[in-house]
Structure 1
């Protein structure tokens, strides 16, 4: 029964993830192209975008925890119940940390927590690639399709980093707009940033689609 519950949750979280991404992108587009809207209202909506973005972070963590738990319980990686329990515990701790980073982002410690958060993602991506290529766990009887899923999941995370890098100019420009008011130049920068970030988001969705295809067809 536990396996079935975790599997349903694993699938459900994927829909939750994609739905959150669509809401974020739709609202961000409205803000980016809303030069006719008073800036105070645009800024309020942008803050809403940052809150909704948390759901994407939750989904990423949940997928990692559920994925490794399922792999362990199905015997695809060593450890069975022990590994699944550890994955579950780490998932809960990671969720708590992600929430703390969000809630404390404007505080004195916020920048430090944000840096730790970004660094931990790079470490996790490296772990996924190592598992996918056999540099780690090379002796495990892990099927090809699971190694492909791990590599693709690393691609999803890398795309998320790419979106964050694409948005650097947005936050710099937005700060100027908040202080000096929007202009045609700054509005144009915001619109270009939206297009750039959405292009990377498209790549992220392609990685997710590939993960689904690998999960369904399980190439050997």
Structure 2
């Protein structure tokens, strides 16, 4: 019964993830291309974008926790139910960390937490790739299709990092607009960063689609 519940949740979270991405991108596009709107209105919507962005972070943590818990319960990762329980506790702790980081994002503490969070994602991506390449867990009973999924999941995470990097110029320019008001140049920069971030987002969607294909096809 538990396996079925976790599997349904694993699938549902994917829809939750994609839906959140669509809402974020749609609102972000409106903010980027509504130069005729008062900046206060655009800034309010941009803050909403950052709040909705939390749902993508939740989805990432949930997919990690559910995916590895299922792998443990199916015997692909050693430890069975005990490992699944540890992973579940870790996922809950990670969710709390993500939420605290968001709530403190405007404070020095929040910025330090966010920096650590970004660094930990690099480590996690490296671990996922290492598992996929048999550098970690070479003796595990993990099939090729699941190792491929872990590699693709690392690619999804890398795209998330890429989007953040693409938005560095956006946030710098946004701060200038908040101080001095928008003009043609800053509005052009905002539109450009939207296009750049969306390009990486499309690649992220491609990797998620590949994850679904591998999950259904299960190539040996």
Q: Indicate the residue corresponding to 1:18 in structure 2.
A: 18
2:71 is equivalent to residue 53 of structure 1: no
Runs of 4+ in 1 over 2 A off after TM superposition: none
Q: Deviations over 1:143-183 (max 9, x none)?
A: 00000000000000000000000000000000000000000
Q: What is the RMSD computed on CA atoms of the aligned residues?
A: 0.5
Q: Indicate the residue corresponding to 1:117 in structure 2.
A: 117
For residues 106 and 187 of structure 1, what CA distance do their matches in structure 2 show?
24
TM-superposed CA distance for 1:107, in Å, is: 1.4
For residues 54 and 44 of structure 2, what CA distance do their matches in structure 1 show?
16
Q: Indicate the residue corresponding to 2:163 in structure 1.
A: 163
TM-superposed CA distance for 1:111, in Å, is: 1.5
Q: Indicate the residue corresponding to 2:173 in structure 1.
A: 173
For residues 157 and 132 of structure 1, what CA distance do their matches in structure 2 show?
15
TM-score after normalising by structure 1: 0.99
2:74 is equivalent to residue 87 of structure 1: no
2:6 is equivalent to residue 6 of structure 1: yes
TM-superposed CA distance for 1:141, in Å, is: 1.7
TM-superposed CA distance for 1:99, in Å, is: 0.4
Q: Indicate the residue corresponding to 1:153 in structure 2.
A: 153
For residues 194 and 188 of structure 2, what CA distance do their matches in structure 1 show?
10
Q: Indicate the residue corresponding to 2:210 in structure 1.
A: 210
Matches within 5 A, 1:92-103: 92-103=92-103
Q: Indicate the residue corresponding to 1:143 in structure 2.
A: 143
Gaps of 5+ in 2: none
Q: Indicate the residue corresponding to 2:70 in structure 1.
A: 70
TM-superposed CA distance for 1:77, in Å, is: 1.3
TM-superposed CA distance for 1:67, in Å, is: 0.1
TM-superposed CA distance for 1:109, in Å, is: 0.8
Matches within 5 A, 1:20-39: 20-39=20-39
Gaps of 5+ in 1: none
Q: Deviations over 1:113-150 (max 9, x none)?
A: 11111011011101101100000001112100000000
TM-superposed CA distance for 1:201, in Å, is: 0.1
For residues 97 and 206 of structure 2, what CA distance do their matches in structure 1 show?
28
Q: Deviations over 1:63-109 (max 9, x none)?
A: 00000000010111111001100110000000000001100111121
Q: Indicate the residue corresponding to 1:134 in structure 2.
A: 134
TM-score after normalising by structure 2: 0.99
For residues 192 and 79 of structure 2, what CA distance do their matches in structure 1 show?
48
